[in-house]
C-alpha cells in the first residue's frame, strides 16, 4: 500500500526507508507468507507473541494509521511512528522497545508541530481549544481566539515562488512567538492561516495584540520591497461574550476576519491599506504625549490629529507601572496613547519631571521606559492622574 505524496522530495532516515521497503515488499507476498513474516517481525521489535491472523490485523491498522498521520500532518509521516502509535493504543505494548525514549519524544513533538514554522498544528489547536474553554468555564475566565491569515499570500507564491512564500510564513510565526505571553498558544492551522488562544484576555486586549502583530509583520515584510500588498488580517472572538462552544467561536472569528478583509482592497498595493493605517497598535503608538486636559474634541480634529490623540483605555485591567525601578512603588496604568501613558498615583508621590518606570500591560511583555510628566490632574479620592510622554 503506497503512502500518499511524493516520496522523493525529502530523503528518509535509514530506519524509515527500511520500514517503507518492508511495506512495499509485503504488498507482493501472499497472505500466508505475509502473516508468517509479520509474526516474526512483531516479535522481534515488541517481544509480543501474536498469532498470524492477529499480526495481519495489526499490520492493516498500522497502514491505516500511517495514512491518517500523513493526511493530518500534511506531509509523509513516519511508518515507525504509526507502528508505535497502534501498539501503544492497543494496550498490548507496555514498554516500547522499538525506539529509544528520546526518539519517541521527538516523534511525539513532530506529530503535533508544523514542520515549516515550528508552531503547534491544527490537531493540537482543537485539543487545546477544548481544554482552555473548559478551564475558562470552570473558573469564570475569559478566553480570546484570534484567527489570522496573510492577505494576498497566493499572489506572492504565484509571483515569487513557494520558497519566498515559506519565508514569509516563517516570519509570521516568529512575529507570533515574539509577542505572546507564556500562557498563550500559537498554531498554524492551514496554509497561510494561524490561530492564537489567549487565556484570561478580553476583546479589547485581544484586538490590541492583533493590531500590534499586524504592524510588526508589516515592518518585517516592508524590508523585502515586494510589489504585492501582503499583510496580516485577523478576526477576534471571546468566550463568553461571543459564545461558549468551540465551533461557534471559530465561526464568529472567521466571519470577523473576512469582514475585515473587505471586498474593495486594491489588487496591487505596495504599502498598508487605509484600514491598516487607521488601526495602528499601541506598541507603534509612541509619537505624541498622552491626552492633556483641553485637547480638541474628536469632531474638530483631522484624521491625523485623531490618530495622534487616540488612546487605549486600560481601566479595569491589571495594568500597572513599577516606578523608579523600585518594586515597592507602583501606579495604576489608566490608558496608553500613541506617545505616552496615563498613570494614577497618590497625590503625595514625587516623581520628578522625567523618571523611569517598568510598564506591565496585559498582552505586552514588561518594558522599561523613560517618561516625562506632561500634566497632572486630580481624580476622585486622594489620587492624581499624570499624563506622561515617552522620552526617546
> 266 pLDDT exceeds 50?
no
pLDDT digits (tens, 9 = 90+) for 239-249: 999 988 999 99
Cβ partners under 8 Å of residue 32, min gap 6: 52
Query: CA–CA separation, 96 vs 47, rounded Å?
Result: 10
Sign of the alpha-carbon torsion through 287, 291, 294, 295: positive
Greater model confidence, 263 or 267 = 263
Least confident residue range of 62-76, 165-179, 299-313: 299-313
Whether residue 64 contacts residue 80, with contact meaning beta carbons closer than 8 Å, is answered with: no
Q: Are strands 383-390 and 311-313 parallel, antiparallel or unpaired?
A: unpaired
pLDDT digits (tens, 9 = 90+) for 136-146: 999 999 999 99
Least confident residue range of 196-205, 299-308, 359-368: 299-308
DSSP for 348-366, please give it.
T----SEEEEEEE-TTSPP
Query: CA–CA separation, 198 vs 181, rounded Å?
Result: 9
Query: CA–CA separation, 310 vs 135, rounded Å?
Result: 35
What integer best gives the mean pLDDT of the chain?
77
Radius of gyration of the CA atoms of the chain, in A:
27
Least confident residue range of 95-104, 173-182, 273-282, 341-350: 273-282
> 164 pLDDT exceeds 50?
yes
What does DSSP assign to residue 113? B
Whether residue 157 contacts residue 192, with contact meaning beta carbons closer than 8 Å, is answered with: no
pLDDT of residue 102: 56
Q: Which CATH architecture has domain 298-390?
A: Beta Barrel (2.40)
Cβ partners under 8 Å of residue 23, min gap 6: 1, 63, 79
Greater model confidence, 260 or 346 = 346
pLDDT of residue 262: 55
pLDDT of residue 92: 67
pLDDT of residue 326: 59
pLDDT of residue 279: 38
Least confident residue range of 105-114, 133-142, 327-336: 105-114
pLDDT of residue 377: 83
| Tally of CA atoms within 13 A in the half-sphere of 336 that contains its CB | 23
Q: Say what percent of the chain tops pLDDT 90.
A: 23
**Ranges of CATH 3.30.70.270 domains, the chain:** 122-278
Summary count for the chain: helices (H), strands (E)? 12, 11
Query: What is the fold of 122-278?
Result: Alpha-Beta Plaits (3.30.70)
List 197's β-bridge partners, or say none: 145, 185
233: closest CA among 147, 172, 121, 168? 147
Q: Please compute the mean of the pLDDT values over residues 191-200 and round it to a whole number.
A: 94
pLDDT of residue 104: 53
> 300 pLDDT exceeds 60?
no
Cβ partners under 8 Å of residue 152, min gap 6: 228, 229, 230, 231
Query: CA–CA separation, 117 vs 165, rounded Å?
Result: 12
> 116 pLDDT exceeds 70?
yes
Backbone angles phi, psi at 387, to 5 degrees: -90, 125
**Ranges of CATH 2.40.10.430 domains, the chain:** 298-390
Ranges of beta strands (E only) in 207-339 are: 231-239, 311-313, 320-323, 330-337
pLDDT range class, residue 147, cuts 50, 70, 90: very high
pLDDT of residue 178: 87
3-class secondary structure per residue, 292-331: CCCCCCHHHCCHHHHHHHCEEECCCCCCEEEECCCCCCEE
Query: CA–CA separation, 193 vs 92, rounded Å?
Result: 39
Cβ partners under 8 Å of residue 73, min gap 6: 110, 111, 115, 121
For the whole prediction, is pTM greater than 0.85?
Answer: no
User: What is the number of other CB atoms lying within 10 angstroms of the CB of residue 171?
Assistant: 17
Q: Please compute the mean of the pLDDT values over residues 39-62 and round it to a whole number.
A: 87
325: closest CA among 290, 294, 368? 368
77: closest CA among 143, 10, 127, 130? 10
Whether residue 24 contacts residue 45, with contact meaning beta carbons closer than 8 Å, is answered with: no
- The packing angle between helices 52-73 and 31-46, to 10°, is 80
Q: How far apart are the first and last CA of the chain?
A: 64
User: What is the number of other CB atoms lying within 10 angstroms of the CB of residue 339?
Assistant: 19
Amino acid at each position: 500500500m503506497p503512502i500518499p505524496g511524493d516520496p522523493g522530495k525529502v530523503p528518509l532516515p535509514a530506519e524509515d526507508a527500511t520500514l517503507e521497503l518492508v511495506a512495499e515488499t509485503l504488498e507482493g507476498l501472499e497472505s500466508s507468507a505475509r502473516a508468517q513474516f509479520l509474526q516474526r517481525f512483531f516479535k522481534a521489535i515488541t517481544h509480543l507473541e501474536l498469532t498470524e491472523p492477529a499480526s495481519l490485523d495489526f499490520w492493516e491498522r498500522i497502514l491505516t494509521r500511517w495514512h491518517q498521520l500523513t493526511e493530518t500532518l500534511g506531509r509523509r509521516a513516519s511508518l515507525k511512528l504509526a507502528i508505535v502509535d497502534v501498539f501503544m493504543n492497543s494496550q498490548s505494548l507496555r514498554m516500547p522497545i522499538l525506539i529509544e525514549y528520546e526518539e519517541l519524544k521527538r516523534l511525539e513533538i513532530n506529530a503535533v508541530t508544523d514542520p515549516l514554522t515550528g508552531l503547534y498544528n491544527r490537531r493540537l489547536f482543537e485539543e487545546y481549544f477544548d481544554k482552555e474553554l473548559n478551564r475558562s468555564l470552570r473558573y469564570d475566565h475569559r478566553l480570546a481566539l484570534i484567527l489570522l491569515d496573510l492577505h494576498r499570500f497566493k499572489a506572492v507564491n504565484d509571483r515569487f515562488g513557494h520558497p519566498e512564500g515559506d519565508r514569509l510564513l516563517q516570519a509570521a510565526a516568529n512575529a507570533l512567538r515574539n509577542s505572546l505571553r507564556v500562557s498563550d498558544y500559537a498554531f498554524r492551522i492551514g496554509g497561510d492561516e494561524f490561530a492564537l488562544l489567549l487565556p484570561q484576555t478580553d476583546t479589547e486586549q485581544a484586538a490590541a495584540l492583533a493590531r500590534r502583530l499586524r504592524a510588526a509583520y508589516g515592518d518585517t515584510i516592508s524590508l523585502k520591497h515586494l510589489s504585492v500588498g501582503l499583510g496580516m488580517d485577523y478576526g477576534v472572538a471571546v468566550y463568553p461574550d461571543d459564545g461558549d462552544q468551540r465551533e461557534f467561536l471559530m465561526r464568529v472569528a472567521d466571519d470577523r476576519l473576512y469582514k475585515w478583509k473587505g471586498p474593495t482592497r486594491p489588487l496591487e498595493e505596495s504599502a498598508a491599506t487605509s484600514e491598516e493605517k487607521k488601526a495602528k497598535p499601541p506598541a507603534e503608538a509612541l509619537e505624541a504625549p498622552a491626552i492633556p486636559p483641553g485637547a480638541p474634541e474628536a469632531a474638530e480634529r483631522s484624521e491625523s490629529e485623531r490618530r495622534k490623540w487616540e488612546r487605549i483605555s486600560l481601566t479595569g485591567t491589571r495594568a500597572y507601572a513599577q516606578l523608579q525601578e523600585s518594586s515597592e512603588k507602583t501606579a495604576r496604568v489608566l490608558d496608553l496613547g500613541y506617545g505616552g501613558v496615563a498613570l494614577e498615583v497618590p497625590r503625595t508621590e514625587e516623581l520628578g519631571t522625567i523618571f523611569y518606570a517598568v510598564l506591565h500591560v496585559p498582552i505586552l511583555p514588561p518594558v522599561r521606559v523613560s517618561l516625562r510628566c506632561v500634566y497632572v490632574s486630580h481624580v476622585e479620592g486622594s489620587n492624581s492622574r499624570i499624563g506622561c510622554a515617552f522620552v526617546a
